[in-house]
Amino acid sequence: MSSSLPCLAIAVAVLSLLALANSNHLPAASVSAAAGRGRSAIPRGHIAAMKFLYAVNDVRQQAGAPALEWSGAAARLAKERATWLRGPGGCDLQAQKGRDVPAPANGGAVTYFLSDGGGRASPEDAVRVWADERRWHDAGARACAAGKQCGDYEIMVQPASKQLGCAVAVCASRKTIMVCEYYAGQALI
């Protein structure tokens, strides 16, 4: 009977950690340690940030690109952009035409995702859509197949990128817009 106690204790610990993860209340140290790849400091309660980072770094690993670190500054810029897009047009990108889009700071690259409004999309959904563009990407030529879109995938796996920050905004139309900003070089301030 005593030999089953260590197994029971391990099972309880694992279940407790899973319950904490699902409740979006991981301790800050756990979130930073869980980020694993890079020296990312994801603030407490930012499970979406961790999901973006894991999903993007998984795609980058498959492409042979180095892992990114989370950037709170890039995430704030992405949030500003997502909020702007959610603005007067209510996530209707056609209504945004003619408005000045906030430019990426420090020459960063930006990817966008807009759900169809059939329910709240997840960070993994956005990354999956961007990663699906890989089928139209010719790595040797570093270009997209004629007439196809693969720019989001190219941005996501750009080896020079070092930092990632993403944000989510839910629109009145129930559409979800997600924005990720990628930066190379020195840390954003």
pLDDT band at 12 (very low <50, low <70, confident <90, very high): very low
Tokens of 95: 């209504």
Question: CA 183, CA 158: separation in Å to the nearest integer?
Answer: 10
**All domains of the chain, ordered by start, with CATH?**
46-184 (3.40.33.10)
Q: What is the pTM of this model?
A: 0.71
Average pLDDT over residues 8-23: 32
Residue 98 has pLDDT above 90, yes or no: no
User: In whole angstroms, what is the distance from residue 148 CA to residue 142 CA?
Assistant: 13
- Residues 32-84 have pLDDT tens digits of 333 444 445 666 658 999 999 999 999 999 999 999 999 999 999 999 888 88
Terminal CA-CA length for the chain: 57
